[in-house]
Amino acid sequence: MYAKNDKITCMNWTLHPVHTKTNACSGLKFTSVSQTTPQQDFDASPGRWHSGHTMLYPLLRPFLFRLDPETAHFIALFALKAFVSGRPQPADPMLSVSLAGIDFPNPVGLAAGFDKDGEVAHLMNHFGCGFAELGTLTPLPQSGNPKPRLFRLAEDHAVINRMGFNNGGQADAIERLRHMPRAGRVIGVNIGANKDATDRIADYVTGVRQMAPFADYLTVNISSPNTPGLRALQGRGPLDELLGAVMAERGAHGPPVFLKVAPDLEPADIDDIAASVVDHKVDALIVSNTTISRPPLRSAHAEETGGLSGAPLHDLALQRLRDFRAALGASVPLIGVGGIASAEQAYARIRAGASLVQIYSAMIYEGPYLAARINTGLKALLQRDGFTNITQAIGIDAR
Ligand SMILES: Cc1cc2nc3c(=O)[nH]c(=O)nc-3n(C[C@H](O)[C@H](O)[C@H](O)COP(=O)(O)O)c2cc1C
């Protein structure tokens, strides 16, 4: 819907040379400017398969950034559906990670919020993503907050959003997921509560019941700053109640359950969440969502209400990951999110304790093949440090 889309929009131009179409919504003509086909992309070595596309993005970005972010996002989703055919991502022996019984072909995933309704998650492996998380999906459809509600902070390589869980609802997504190609893909489903729900915990239980059959993993998102009161569920009492209900509904045979937390936490909050996560045997912790804090920013949109993501979130999200690693040790796998824009930053997050990482905002600024570039860079960093698989590097700086 947003900046992220922008990047993906560029991708559209680089894909499927056989197609030349005009987007009815934008009037834009999506004609291939790349000499490679998607199949060639996959067959080439990771170091080369995205390089041609990568060079295009800097040319396209100025045009994309003239569009309203939500319009750009809409166009991006449209173009993805029209022109990209995702194929199963072959596992890279050096980058493959096993977590909660799931085999991830590489550790770089698409974070929640880009594909709210599960329209394109199965295509993101085309761009090097080892997994994709769709949602947040609420039981009932809801339109979210009034527009404008998404802002690019280009000078800061950041985004502020106050989308408010706009989504088409779980029933709608289920119909789409029934037909989504799944082979060789890892697709997580992020669930939340409707804004006007009288019983929010019941909404999460509904989400588990409805979405579990379609999810490789479920993410319980209690960390969006854009649904009033939602983050109060991170408190010890409410969190125990929520996780008890969610895990009971998931049962012995359901998918792994991950919990996604905010970065805006005090030390006591971190200890409480860690204790609750251990007590309820949550399968992994995603650290973190956007921040309501405002480090120094240069952009005119700096004071917009909402969650800040991208480069200014980097240090805070890394610190929260370290905090949770210190509180939990290696007992609960961590997934690092927030401001990751390079292989070096992804590697630092992994060395700090993350088994996987997710990206969103940086793709807006760096382009759609960022995941592929991070994977290529990760391999070089692992080789430099004498590791043969990325799991050997997880948490090495926290020991
Ligand atoms: C426009 C936008 C919408 C988002 N929507 C969701 C969402 O629905 N659910 C969620 O769990 N996180 C959502 N996020 C948060 C991201 O998943 C991620 O945690 C956050 O942006 C930090 O990563 P980044 O700095 O790489 O963007 C959203 C982020 C953005 C920028």
Q: Distance from the CA of 227 to the center of ligand 1, in angstroms? A: 13
pLDDT of 53: 61
Contact at 8 Å (CB) between 88 and 39? no
Residue 330 lies in a domain: yes
- The predicted-structure confidence for 139-158, as pLDDT tens digits, reads as follows 999 999 999 999 999 999 99
Residue 12 lies in a domain: no
Q: Which two tokens stand for residue 252?
A: 């012995």
Alpha helix ranges (H) inside the chain:
3-14, 38-43, 51-64, 69-83, 170-178, 200-211, 236-250, 267-279, 314-328, 343-351, 361-366, 370-384
Residue 191 lies in a domain: yes
Backbone angles phi, psi at 155, to 5 degrees: -65, -25
- Mean pLDDT for back-to-back runs of 10 residues, the chain (399 residues): 32 28 28 28 37 69 90 88 77 94 96 96 91 97 97 97 97 96 93 95 98 98 87 88 98 97 94 96 98 96 97 98 97 97 98 98 92 96 98 95
Provide residues with CB under 6 Å of ligand 1: 1-2, 111-113, 116, 135-136, 150, 159, 161, 163, 190, 221, 224, 260, 289-290, 309-310, 313, 337-340, 359-362
pLDDT of 60: 79
Residue 9 lies in a domain: no
pLDDT of 34: 30
Residue 158 lies in a domain: yes
Angle in degrees, CA 332, 334, 335, rounded to 5: 150
Atom of ligand 1 nearest to the CA of 165: 8
Q: How many Cβ atoms from other residues are within 10 Å of residue 319's Cβ?
A: 15
From 28, 129, 9, 24, select the one nearest 79 (Cα to Cα): 9
Q: Compute the distance between CA of residue 146 and CA of residue 166 in angstroms, rounded to an integer.
A: 10
Q: Which two tokens stand for residue 75?
A: 């166009």
pLDDT of 81: 87
pLDDT of 228: 83
How many domains does the structure of the chain reveal? 1
Residue 380 lies in a domain: yes
Q: Distance from the CA of 359 to the center of ligand 1, in angstroms? A: 9
Residue 99 lies in a domain: yes
How would DSSP label each residue in 91-122? PPTTT-EEETTEEESSSEEEPTTSSTTSSSGG
- DSSP summary character for residue 199: -
- The predicted-structure confidence for 252-269, as pLDDT tens digits, reads as follows 999 999 999 999 999 999
Residue 335 lies in a domain: yes
Range(s) of the domain holding residue 282: 90-398
- Active-site pick, 34, 223, 224, 288: 224
Atom of ligand 1 nearest to the CA of 286: 19
pTM of the model: 0.89
**CATH, residue 121:** 3.20.20.70
